[in-house]
Amino acid sequence: MKKIAILAVSLFLVTTLCFGNALAEENLFIYSWTDYTSPEMLKKFEKETGIKVTLDTFDTNESLLAKLKAGGGGYDIVVPSHNFIPIFVDEGLLMEINAPELKGYENIMSKYKSPPWDPGNKYSIPWQTGTTSFSINTDVYKGDIDTYKIMFDPPPELQGKIAMFGSADEVIGMALIYLGFDQCNQSSDEMKKVMDLLMAQKPYVKVYNSDGILERLLSGDVALHMNWNGYALRVRNENPAIKYAYPKEGVMSWMDNLAVPKDAQNKENAIKFLEFMMQPENAGIQSNFARYANGIEGSAEFMDDELKAAPEINVPSNVNLIFSLACPEKSIKLYDKVWTKLKQ
C-alpha cells in the first residue's frame, strides 16, 4: 500500500508539474496604453489560439521604461512609441523578433518596413499610428483653435481649464514646436525658454495627466486637453462641439509598436500575437476600437466608414507633421531638468 501511495503521489506531482507548465504556456501578458486595446480583438485571439490574455495598462512611455528596467512585471508584449524603441534596445530590454521572418510581415506597409527607429524590424512591428495635438470645447472658446497660442498663452475663458499630458517628451515636444525650436534640443538657452514658457502656463493648467482624457473633456472639467487624434474622435462622437486642432506651428506624429521584453515568459505566444496582429482583419478590428490608423496593408477593408472619413484621422495636406526620433542623452537630461522643475 505504501508503494502504491508513493507511486500515486509521484504521479500526482508529475501530472501537476506538467499541467502547470502547460497552463503557463497558454498565457499571454500584455502591457499597453490605457483604454487602447480592443476587447473584441483580444477575444478573437483567445478563441483562435486558446491562449488566455491578461491586459495591464500604463499612461506614459516613461512608466513603461521604468517598469521594464525594474524587472518587467512578467509581460510578454509591450507597446512602446517609435522614439522610445532605440532607448529600450540600448537598455537591452527587448528580445530580437526578426519580424521579416514572421508570418504576415508582407502585410506591413512599405513605409513602416525597416523604419528609422528599428532598422530591419529587428525588435518591433507597427501597431497604431496617429498625431498628438489637443481637443477643445468650441462652446467655451469660439476663436481660432489651430494654434498652440491658446494653450500656452490662454485667453480668460480657458485659464484654469487646460489639461496637459503627464509625459515629459510630449509636453516639451509641443512647447518646442510652438517656439520654433528643433526637437531633441541640446541648447541650454533654448531649453531655458521652454522652461519659462511652461512655468508661465502652469497656473492655468488644471492637471498634468495622460489618463482620463475623455472623462475630463466630456464632464466639462476642462475645456482644452492635450490629446491623441483617436481619442479626439471618440470625444467628438459624444460631444460634437469638441474639436481636434491642427496647429499651424506643426503637429507631432507617432507610431506605437508591438515588442517582446527580453525576459518574457511566454515568447512563443508573444510571437503568435505578433503574427495575429499583422493580419489585416485583426488590425482593422483594433483600429475600429482605438480610432487610429495602423501600419497594415489591407486593413482599411475591415475599418468603419466613419473612421476612414474622420477629420481626426485624415490630416489636412497643409499640416506640417513632425515625426520625432529618440533623443541623445544631453537632450534627455535637459528635458528631465525642465520636467522636474515644472512638476515641483
Average pLDDT of span 217-229: 97
DSSP secondary structure, 305-323, as one string: HHHHH-TTTS--TT--EEE
The set of long-range contacts for 48-55, using a CB threshold of 8 Å and a minimum separation of 24, is 48/276, 49/269, 49/272, 49/276, 50/26, 51/26, 51/27, 51/269, 51/272, 51/273, 52/26, 52/27, 52/28, 53/27, 53/28, 53/29, 54/27, 54/28, 54/29, 54/30, 55/30
Question: What pLDDT score does 97 carry?
Answer: 97
Looking at the predicted structure, is the pLDDT value of residue 313 above 50?
yes
Looking at the predicted structure, is the pLDDT value of residue 261 above 70?
yes
Question: What pLDDT score does 137 carry?
Answer: 98
Q: What is the pTM of this model?
A: 0.79
Question: What pLDDT score does 323 carry?
Answer: 82
Ranking 149-163, 267-281, 305-319 by mean pLDDT, the lowest is 305-319
Question: What pLDDT score does 292 carry?
Answer: 92
CB 273 within 8 A of CB 28: yes
Q: Which fold has domain 2-128+255-309?
A: D-Maltodextrin-Binding Protein; domain 2 (3.40.190)
Looking at the predicted structure, is the pLDDT value of residue 8 above 60?
no
CATH 3.40.190.10 in the chain, residue ranges:
2-128+255-309, 130-253+313-343
CB 242 within 8 A of CB 217: yes
Q: Could you tell me what percent of the chain has a pLDDT over 90? A: 83
Q: Which CATH number fits domain 130-253+313-343: 3.40.190.10, 3.40.630.40, 3.40.718.10, 3.40.50.2000?
A: 3.40.190.10
Banded model confidence at residue 324, pLDDT cuts 50, 70, 90: confident
Average pLDDT of span 269-274: 98
Banded model confidence at residue 25, pLDDT cuts 50, 70, 90: low
Looking at the predicted structure, is the pLDDT value of residue 21 above 60?
no
Question: What pLDDT score does 22 carry?
Answer: 40
Alpha carbon 149 to its chain's center: 26
CB 292 within 8 A of CB 129: yes
Tens digit of each residue's pLDDT (9 = 90 or more) over 87-145: 999 999 999 999 999 999 999 999 899 999 999 999 999 999 999 999 999 999 999 99
Q: At what angle do helices 168-179 and 329-343 cross, to 10 degrees?
A: 100
Ranking 21-30, 177-186, 319-328 by mean pLDDT, the lowest is 21-30
More confident residue, 23 or 201: 201
User: How distant, in Å, are the alpha carbons of 74, 264, 280, 290 from that of 52?
Assistant: 15, 15, 22, 21
pLDDT mean across residues, the chain: 91
Tens digit of each residue's pLDDT (9 = 90 or more) over 39-81: 999 999 999 999 999 999 999 899 999 999 998 779 999 999 9
